[in-house]
Amino acid sequence: MLMEAIGFYAMAMFLVFFAFKTISDPNPIHCALYLSLTMIGLAGVFYQLDAQFIAGVQMIVYAGAVMVLFVMVLMLFDLKTELRAFSRGLLSGFLKIFSAAILAGFALGAATNSIGIVDEQPPKVMSANITRDLSILLYTKYLYAFEALGILLLVVAVGAVAVSRIKGGSHARD
C-alpha cells in the first residue's frame, strides 16, 4: 500500500508539474515539449490503471504523432519567446481569471463530492487478458462507432489537405 501511494504521488507530482509548465512557459515550443512529457506520464498512469493497450496507444498517438506535429508546426512558424504570453485587458482579464477560477473550483469540487457516489465495492478483478477483451468489445458492441471513426478520419484527411491549400496573402490586413 505504501509503495503504491509513493508511486501515485510521484507520478501525480510529475504530471502536475509538467502540466503547469505547459500552460505557463512563454515559449510555445517549450510548452509543446512539456506537454509531450505530460502525455508520456499519463501513459504511465494508464498503464498502472490496467489499461496497457490504451497506454501504448497514448504513446503512439499523442507523444509520437500529435505532439511531433505540434513541435513541427511551431518550428515552421519560427516563433520567438512571447513577451506577453497571457492575454491582457482589464475587464476581460478579470473575467477570464474569475471564470477560470470558478470552473476549476467546479471541477475540483465535483471530484471531491464524488467520493461515495461509487459504492465501496470489493475490487473487481479484471480479466487476465484485458487487451483481448477490449478488442472483442471494440469489434462487436462498438462496431458502428468504429466504422464511423474510419469515415471521420477520411473526412479529416480531405479537410486538412483542403485547408492547407488556402492561398495566403491575397486578403492580408495591410
Q: Does 17 bind other proteins (CB under 8 A)?
A: no
How far is 13 from 25, CA to CA, in rounded Å?
A: 18
Give Dmax over CA atoms of the chain in angstroms: 67
* Cβ 78 to other proteins shortest distance, Å: 5
Residues 74-113 that bind other proteins (CB under 8 A): 74-79, 82, 84-87, 96-97, 99-100, 103-104, 107-108, 110-112
CB of 55 to other proteins, least distance (A): 8
Is position 143 an interface residue for other proteins (rule: CB under 8 A)?
yes
The distance of closest approach from Cβ of residue 90 to other proteins in the complex, given in angstroms and rounded to an integer, is 14
Query: Ramachandran region of residue 26, left (φ > 0), alpha (ψ -120 to 50) or beta?
Result: alpha
The C-alpha cell that represents 40 in the structure block: 508520456
Q: Please work out the total of residues on this chain that contact other proteins, with binding judged by CB under 8 A.
A: 123
User: Whole-number minimum distance, CB 85 to other proteins, in Å?
Assistant: 6
DSSP letter (8 states) at residue 127 = P
Instruction: Retrieve residue 138's grid coordinates.
Output: 471494440
R_g of the chain computed on alpha carbons: 21
Contact status: 157 vs other proteins (CB under 8 A): yes
Please tell me the distance from the alpha carbon of residue 58 to that of residue 50, in angstroms, as a whole number: 14
| Binding residue for other proteins, selected from 90, 91, 94, 147, defined by CB under 8 A | 147
Site for other proteins in 21-60 (CB under 8 A): 22-23, 28-29, 31-33, 35-36, 38-40, 42-60
Cβ nearer to other proteins, comparing 61 with 90: 61
Q: What is the DSSP string of 58-82?
A: IIIIIIIIIHHHHHHHHHHHTPPPP
Q: HSE on the CB side for 89, CA within 13 Å?
A: 6
Q: Which of 70, 90, 91, 94 binds other proteins (CB under 8 A)?
A: 70
